[in-house]
Amino acid sequence: MFSLPLGDRALLRPLEPWQATEFLAHIDRARPGVDPWIPWATFSTDLASATATLQRYADRQAEDTGRIYGIWSDGTLVGGVMFTRFDSAAGVCEIGCWSEPAGEGRGLVTRACRALIDWAFRERGMSRVEWWVASGNTRSIAVARRLGMSREGVLRRRYPYRDVRHDSEVWSVLAQEWLPPAGDDSASESADRAELDRLMGVFVGAFTNTDGRRPDLDVIREVFLPEGRIIANVGARPVIYDLDAFIEPRRKMLSDGTLTEFSEWEVAARTEIRGSVAHRFSEYRKSGCHHGTWFEGSGHKTTQFLRTPAGWRMASLAWDDAPADGG
């Protein structure tokens, strides 16, 4: 059977009617997080309806009008992605996604969506990939942003669900925004540099909690390899973190009032790309309020990137933090 590694011991594979029992058990686990936004889970409430859902997509695949794929983590179905609409004549398709809690926070859905978009553009020659989402579904909107999509507008009160009319946001990415022109090496390198800039921007922006904004440290798992390392070289000896050890203490500090109005930004950067590896040297500044005391600081970062089947990912990051003024 076809399968595509997503990293972090996860695989992307087709979902077929014979897997309805496994699919139903998964949907039951996902239902609390999915039902508030879309009627997707309500289509599969027992074995017969779950089988019918998968059969509809099997029929659509046979007609080349839709497809559905599951995400398995350590052998358990934890989420999925799909072409809800696939119009090869018009060159337009729509993708969607869902997940249960065990599939969240590791970038699996984003990497799976990226694989579908890449296939649609490279293999099928599609011109446009769309993403339709309820305006309040912040997790889905965050995925659209991480995929580099543009928000095109809002269709107000577009559809009724659970006795409430909901707004729909339309996001999209175009083939020329996703793919460099054929044979254009300079455009390809420019696209690589833009992606590395984006990854660094996502990483740095994950900690921001200014103006009431909530930090989103889970995106760090999406820009890093699962085995990635983050190194603080600011004391007597380096401290080397895996992703969990780095993220969780900072999540607590940024959300419990210890560190408020915090932001960090690059002020200079130099990136070198050599084939499927890249290296970035950065200077940064930061500011915030730590235990009620305002501080400002600066420092240097060095970041290593690897090109993987799912795109560029951070492999390691090390920083040397200059002493902060006032703290």
Read out DSSP for 156-179?
Answer: EEEEEETTEEEEEEEEEEEHHHHS
pTM of the model: 0.60
Distance CA 106, CA 110 (A): 9
Which pLDDT belongs to residue 211? Answer: 78
Which pLDDT belongs to residue 186? Answer: 57
Strand 311-321 and strand 224-232: the pairing is: parallel
Superfamily of domain 4-178 in the CATH hierarchy: Gcn5-related N-acetyltransferase (GNAT) (3.40.630.30)
Q: CA 133, 138, 142, 145 torsion: positive or negative?
A: positive
The ranges of the chain annotated as CATH 3.10.450.50 are 185-321
Which pLDDT belongs to residue 185? Answer: 56
The ranges of the chain annotated as CATH 3.40.630.30 are 4-178
Q: pLDDT tens digits for the chain (327 residues)?
A: 578 888 777 899 999 999 999 999 999 999 998 887 777 778 899 999 999 999 999 999 999 999 999 999 989 999 999 999 999 999 999 999 999 999 987 788 988 998 999 999 989 999 999 999 988 888 888 888 888 889 999 999 888 877 888 888 999 999 988 876 555 555 567 778 888 888 988 898 899 998 788 888 988 998 999 999 999 998 889 999 999 999 999 999 999 999 999 999 888 889 999 989 999 999 999 999 999 999 999 999 999 999 987 789 999 999 998 865 443
Q: What angle do CA 12, 245, 228 make, to 5 degrees?
A: 50
Phi, psi of 258 (to 5 degrees): -65, -45
CATH topology of domain 185-321: Nuclear Transport Factor 2; Chain: A, (3.10.450)
Which pLDDT belongs to residue 327? Answer: 39
> Distances in Å between the alpha carbon of 196 and those of 72, 189, 203, 278?
28, 10, 11, 9
